[in-house]
Structure 1
Amino acid sequence: MSVTDKIAARLPKIVSERTERGPVVAAVRLHGVITPTPTPMARNTISMQTVESALTRAFEHDRLVAVALLINSPGGAPTQSALISERIRELAAKKKVPVLAFCEDLAASGGYWLACAGDEVYAHGTSLVGSIGVVSAGFGLNGLIERYGVERRVHTAGENKVRLDPFSPEKPEDVEWLKGLQAQLHDQFADWVKERRGAKLKATDDELFNGEVWTGAKAVELGLVDGLGTLRGVVAKRYPDAEIAVAEPRRPLLARLGLAGATTRSGDFLVEGLAALEERARWSRFGL
């Protein structure tokens, strides 16, 4: 038998195998602190830039029946949380597929903002969920530079250009301004949760939006999640014939090379180190 005859003989089987392949649930990992500016020391971060390609790949499967979000995040930048969530809803509407969000160890603050992009939200009983609030944190370094005899020189046009400068003493009026800004962001966060969860919410605004974090089991009672479950467990029941395909977001170059924590210039070390401490602090607030 010639090569051509062999290919012709196998062709019907190949076509049959392709047509018999089952549906796909595409899963996207959203792991890490949410930030528009990942640092070389960060191993996992979430931003619109890093997750866009993964989201696009996930929603492009031709046998797609659902998209799953695997969320493990202590939160971070509210704008990035909103941009990613809006992109997920845009793609879901375009492809007309449901989005299932799964809270893993932690879906707090911006992490829960992302979870609300799902049509259904699941958590493990031991997951930590919620923290619907706004936090700003940083370091006051004015005493440090004075100790080492460093003079800070800042020249501005506009009296509010250096509000909350970490190298200058904190001013009460700047703190008051920050609190007003936080209140506006908090309202937007609460409005998003209400829009996405609606009548499923089973507690008052004061109970839900005070920054508290709950276990997954308690989050079910409050209506913040729809049920307890894991990706494979829920998919096995909902789509028993489905294949799970995981789309990984892009990671910083140094992290991909296994060099997270490296810095190229000695002058960057303090800034990068403080950023790494801040990232670590976001997780440690929840005992992780």
Structure 2
Amino acid sequence: MFSTLRSYLPKPFKNDKTIIPVVRLQGAIGGGGPIKSGLSLATAAIPLEKAFAIKKAPAVALIINSPGGSPVQSRLIFKRIRDLAKEKEKDVLVFVEDVAASGGYMIAVAGDEIFVDPSSIVGSIGVVAAGFGFTEMIKKIGVDRRVYTAGEKKVILDPFQPEVEEDIEYLKSLQLDIHETFIDLVKSRRGDVLADDPDLFSGKFWTGRTAIQLGLVDAIGDLRGVLKERYGDKAEPKLISAPRGLFGRKASVGVGLGAGRLVEGLGGELISSVEERALWARYGL
């Protein structure tokens, strides 16, 4: 009888849908400037908290489209997702769009299941540091580099000074340490399904179809299709976004934007955009 009466209720009073909150995590991780925000814990925290706070939702869906970036921010986002999933007792379903590589894949393994498109790019479990050397250029234009420090290693790998082999080896040791942290994290989440492949942690990346065979992801699937199959035809995804602030930026936790910072940061905005473009281009995107 109740179900019959419910059919006559106004739409707002009906409760026959299974709402699945969806959070989109997109872009280079840790980057950004005064106009454009990068993906970080500060920008992701609010929508994640809101999504996991929906009590009746059986799961939270994450859409990931990121070529990577800061290993620290990647792990912080990963940890926040797992902490919330445990606290709220919800499943986490991850859906990869174009790419979940490097730090993007580190975030993806926070999912209990990872779904991909056959042509998604997945993997790149490694660490990279890149830059430019300007020693020959400043010689040609007659620039005299003057640096004063307290601490003999304060300016290691200065792009305006010749490289020192000892400094390069030190940087590589830091990279190996970060790489091990990344590997341990992936194994802790997917160790029972990972293939025994020597290239798995080499920094190599694969299509979604091959990533399934390697155990990096679980299956091919799109968000709406998987949710309907998992939770029925009445499953309805609900996008959760951070509130917008000045210049349309997504609001972040503990980050202010003053006029001085805006002007000061504009010069770095172009560099940030070029670096992000290079990250995407590495995967043919």
Report TM bin, short chain.
0.7 to 0.9
- The CA deviation string for residues 196-234 of structure 1, in whole angstroms up to 9 with x for no partner, is 012111223x22101111000000001100100011111
- The CA deviation string for residues 119-161 of structure 1, in whole angstroms up to 9 with x for no partner, is 1011000000000111111232344444444443322211111
Aligned-pair CA distance for 1:24 = 1.6
Structure 1 residues 171 and 77: CA distance shift in structure 2, 3 A: same
Moved more, 151-160 or 116-125: 151-160
Matched, 1:184 2:177: yes
Distance in 1 (CA, whole Å) between partners of 2:245 and 2:159 is 27
Distance in 1 (CA, whole Å) between partners of 2:265 and 2:202 is 40
Amino acid at match of 2:215: G
Distance in 1 (CA, whole Å) between partners of 2:139 and 2:263 is 23
Aligned-pair CA distance for 1:274 = 2.5
Distance in 1 (CA, whole Å) between partners of 2:33 and 2:142 is 28
Unpaired runs of 5+ in structure 2? Answer: 1-7, 251-260
Tell me which of 24, 30, 35 is aligned to 1:29.
24
Distance in 1 (CA, whole Å) between partners of 2:116 and 2:265 is 42
Percent identity, please.
Answer: 48
- Residue 6 of structure 1: aligned partner: none
Distance in 2 (CA, whole Å) between partners of 1:198 and 1:100 is 18
Structure 1 residues 138 and 18: CA distance shift in structure 2, 3 A: farther
- The CA deviation string for residues 210-262 of structure 1, in whole angstroms up to 9 with x for no partner, is 111100000000110010001111101001222211112467844549xxxxx
Tell me which of 273, 276, 282 is aligned to 1:276.
273
SS at match of 1:286: coil
Tell me which of 64, 69, 75 is aligned to 2:57.
64
SS at match of 2:195: coil
Which structure dedicates a bigger proportion of its chain to helix?
Answer: 1
Matched, 1:55 2:48: yes
Aligned-pair CA distance for 1:267 = 8.9
Distance in 2 (CA, whole Å) between partners of 1:287 and 1:123 is 17
Unpaired runs of 5+ in structure 1? Answer: 1-11, 258-262
RMSD: 2.5
- Residue 100 of structure 1: aligned partner: 93
SS at match of 2:90: coil
- Residue 189 of structure 2: aligned partner: 196
Q: Are the aligned partners of 2:32 and 2:269 in contact in 1 as well (CA < 8 Å)?
A: no
Distance in 1 (CA, whole Å) between partners of 2:273 and 2:12 is 49
Matched, 1:239 2:234: no
SS at match of 1:201: coil
